[in-house]
């Protein structure tokens, strides 16, 4: 460097940069530092994806795309921040070198992702040969002609190789769209087609916005534009998030723990830049090793926990499915039995002897009870899993409750129970499924009657804070504290109720809860304990 | 799952090429500081003119 050049550089009075990337030289600090926001999470996500399955080609290629993108960002940050021409020249060359690789790896990833196969040897050669001039001539004048000192903008002058690189980038980006179209036409599966569309949109928008910023920057020589080139970065992050969630690129359940551990390790690691004494360095190193070790153990234990939970969930789902299928079959058989018994009683097949009539009636009753029992289980299970179909219409909930109360009062009084009801004046119109709500309310009332050996039952319907509140109070068996949690769960039968009703399916209250919650309402109960009665409440929003 | 040695070798070759190329650039610009300075606007060559690279 000659004396005259040194004098020009000094006359520019550039600010010093720290850690290569922190400096007051940048034009738009907020936009500049937002690059970190794109780079750090991208790097973490890429690394986690790679670690999730190191052997999988898609993971490797996505990781390479992200790594080259992050390296590009780092190089760009240095060129924006540095006050040294040699740094500008080297990092500018480096970003010109790495930039086409971002596109190449993205193209390679897209190909493998779309066609579920690797490039053939010939394809590898054909698609990578255009990168050769970039690699060979990167450190020559063809890439950067020299450093511009005609103003104090701290920029280099690009050669023809840089323009070639931009052309190559556009070709790779367009190739992604072309192979996406080919794959889309070839693959008939709708889900795979949707995957192709989404991945293509994500990748193309990211790459094209990236190119556009860089190309406009160079050709207009407006360096501010280049800083906006990374507006594609959030798209890229969204694209990554999509890949993670949709394609389960890694176990999403572990991301919280992993992100926490990695952040901790990065923060402790960054301490090395600030500590001055050897003792502090040793302490930081020990802390870093301990944190990394403990973090590793935590992630491993969470991984085990997640795997165990998934196994249990899988087993539960299988069991639920089995119950559903079995109950449907049993319901079918019971229905046939019921029809046979009913047919026999009609005398269509000849006069049934008087001695046999009684047993046929018992058979009919038993089949009927069995069918109701199975239906209750099926409905309860469906309501709980949210698979019941509701026909929502406007109706008077007050009239519905009054009708059920009339019928159930009769049943209760036959059992020797006192039954009172109270309906406060008001508008009880709601939008809901009349049939399911009717059955849910009947379930609650029948429960009270069944589990109240003596005493009384009282129902109350009122409006409170623009909500309908129905309650049913009884002097029955009550609910023990230890049974509280299982009351509304499928198959949940309390210890006190089983003494009274051994045939309880345990699905009745699960059905009530499912139906009420599907109407944006809630159901709960209060009980002072065993043999102290209970009150069940249903709250529903008024129309 | 797609995984094979051939793609690994291909990726390693590409990475080695990048590292080598960047090393040459490092040596030229950072170690030797071998590059031109353009002090005036007029001295800046046209990138599309082949004479600029002589």
Q: pLDDT for A394-434, tens place per residue? A: 999 999 999 999 999 999 999 899 999 998 888 889 999 99
Q: Are strands A156-158 and B36-38 parallel, antiparallel or unpaired?
A: unpaired
Helix (H) or strand (E) holding A31: helix A29-52
Number of structural domains (chain A) is 3
Is residue A275 one of the residues assigned to a domain? no
Separation between Cα atoms, residue A256 and residue A220, nearest integer Å: 44
Q: Following DSSP, what letter does each residue of A48-115 receive, concatenated?
A: HHHHHTTT-HHHHHHHHHHHHHHHHHHHHHHHHH---HHHHHHHHHHHHHHHHHHHHHHHHHHHHHHH
Cα–Cα dist A372/A505, whole Å: 10
State yes or no: pLDDT of A224 exceeds 70. Answer: no
The CATH number that applies at residue A502 is 3.30.565.10
Mark which of A363, A385, A407 sits at the end of a domain. Answer: A385
Q: Clarify whether residues A54 and A138 are in a common domain.
A: yes
Do residues A184 and A129 both lie within one domain? yes
Shared domain for A421 and A361, answered yes or no, is no
Q: For helices B5-25 and A85-115, what crossing angle results, to 10°?
A: 170
Q: Are residues A415 and A355 in the same domain?
A: no
Residue that is last in its domain, among A215, A250, A285: A250
Chain A residues with CB under 8 Å of B17 CB are 131, 135
pLDDT at A201 (0 to 100): 83
Contact at CB, A135 and B3, closer than 8 angstroms: no
d(CA A62, CA A55) in angstroms, rounded, equals 12
Is residue A78 assigned to a domain? yes
Contacts of A52 in chain B (CB under 8 A): none
Which among A5, A8, A112 has the least Cβ separation from residue B2? A112
A117 and A235 in a single domain? The answer is: yes
Would you say residue A220 has pLDDT above 80? Answer: no
Which pLDDT score, from 0 to 100, does residue A207 have? 81
Q: Among A15-24, A128-137, A142-151, A208-217, which is the least confidently predicted range?
A: A208-217
Whether A204 is in a domain gets the answer: yes
Nearest chain B Cα distance for residue A78, angstroms: 14
Q: In terms of Cα–Cα distance, which of A458, A443, A453 is closest to A523?
A: A443
Q: Which residue of A has its CA nearest to B48?
A: A160
Domain that holds residue A409: 393-541
Interface test with A, best of B5, B37, B39, B45 (most A CBs within 10 A): B37
A372-378 own/partner pairs: CB under 8 Å, 24+ apart = A373/A503, A373/A505, A374/A327, A374/A330, A374/A331, A374/A334, A375/A331, A376/A505, A376/A507, A376/A508, A376/A511, A377/A323, A377/A327, A377/A505, A377/A507, A378/A324, A378/A327, A378/A328, A378/A331
Weakest-pLDDT range from A5-9, A114-118, A235-239, B36-40:
A235-239
Of A86, A98, A162, nearest to B29 by CB-CB distance is: A86
How far, in Å, are A25, A338, A347, A358, A369 from residue A353 at the CA level? 107, 19, 10, 10, 24
Residue A262 lies in a domain: no
* Beta-carbon-side half-sphere exposure of residue A282 (alpha carbons within 13 Å): 3
Tell me if A298 is assigned to some domain. no
- A522, β-bridge pairs: A539
Question: What's the CA gap between A380 and A506, in Å, rounded?
Answer: 9
């Amino acid at each position: 460097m000659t004396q005259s050049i040194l004098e020009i550089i000094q006359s520019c009075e550039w600010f010093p940069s720290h850690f290569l990337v922190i400096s007051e030289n940048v034009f738009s600090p907020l936009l500049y530092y937002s690059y970190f926001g794109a780079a750090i999470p991208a790097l973490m996500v890429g690394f986690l994806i790679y670690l999730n399955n190191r052997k999988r080609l898609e993971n490797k290629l996505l990781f390479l795309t992200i790594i080259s993108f992050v390296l590009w960002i780092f190089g760009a940050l240095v060129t924006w921040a540095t006050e040294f021409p040699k740094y500008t020249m080297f990092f500018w060359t480096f970003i010109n070198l790495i930039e086409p690789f971002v596109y190449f790896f993205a193209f390679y990833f897209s190909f493998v992702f779309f066609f579920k196969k690797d490039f053939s040897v010939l394809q590898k050669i054909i698609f990578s040969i255009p990168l050769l001039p970039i690699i060979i001539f990167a450190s020559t004048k063809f890439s950067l002609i020299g450093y511009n000192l005609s103003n104090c903008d701290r920029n280099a002058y690009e050669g023809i190789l840089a323009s070639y690189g931009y052309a190559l980038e556009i070709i790779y980006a367009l190739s992604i769209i072309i192979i996406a179209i080919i794959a889309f036409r070839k693959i008939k599966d709708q889900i795979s087609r949707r995957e192709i569309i989404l991945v293509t949109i994500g990748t193309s928008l990211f790459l094209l916005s990236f190119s556009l910023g860089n190309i406009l920057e160079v050709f207009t020589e407006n360096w501010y534009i280049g800083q906006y080139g990374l507006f594609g970065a959030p798209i890229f992050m969204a694209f990554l998030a999509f890949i993670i969630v949709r394609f389960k690129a890694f176990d999403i359940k572990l991301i919280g723990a992993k992100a926490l551990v990695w952040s901790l390790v990065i923060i402790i690691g960054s301490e090395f830049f600030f500590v001055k004494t050897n003792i502090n360095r040793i302490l930081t190193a020990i802390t870093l090793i301990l944190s990394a070790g403990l973090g590793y153990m935590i992630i491993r234990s969470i991984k085990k926990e997640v795997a165990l939970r998934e196994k249990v969930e899988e087993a539960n789902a299988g069991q639920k499915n089995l119950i559903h299928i079995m109950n449907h079959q049993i319901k079918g058989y019971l229905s046939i039995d019921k029809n046979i018994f009913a047919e026999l009683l009609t005398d269509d097949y000849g006069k049934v002897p008087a001695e046999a009539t009684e047993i046929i009636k018992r058979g009919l009753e038993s089949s009927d009870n069995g069918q109701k029992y199975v239906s209750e289980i099926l409905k309860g299970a469906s309501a709980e899993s949210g698979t019941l179909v509701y026909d929502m219409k406007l109706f008077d909930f007050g009239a519905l409750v009054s009708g059920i109360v009339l019928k159930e009062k009769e049943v209760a009084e036959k059992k020797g129970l006192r039954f009172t009801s109270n309906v406060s004046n008001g508008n009880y119109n709601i939008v809901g499924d009349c049939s399911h709500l009717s059955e849910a309310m009947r379930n609650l009332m029948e429960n009270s009657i069944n589990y109240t050996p003596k005493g009384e039952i009282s129902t109350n319907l009122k409006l409170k804070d623009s909500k309908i509140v129905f309650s049913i109070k009884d002097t029955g068996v009550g609910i023990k504290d230890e049974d509280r949690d299982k009351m509304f769960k499928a198959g949940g039968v309390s210890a006190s109720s089983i003494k009274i009703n051994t045939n309880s399916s345990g699905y009745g209250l699960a059905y009530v809860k499912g139906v009420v919650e599907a109407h944006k309402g809630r159901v709960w109960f209060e009980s002072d304990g065993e043999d102290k009665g209970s009150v069940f409440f249903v709250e529903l929003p008024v129309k | 799952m797609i995984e094979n040695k051939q793609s690994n070798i291909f990726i390693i070759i590409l990475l080695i090429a990048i590292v080598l190329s960047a090393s040459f650039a490092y040596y030229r610009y950072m170690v030797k500081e071998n590059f031109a300075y353009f002090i005036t606007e007029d001295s800046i060559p046209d990138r599309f003119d082949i004479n600029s690279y002589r």
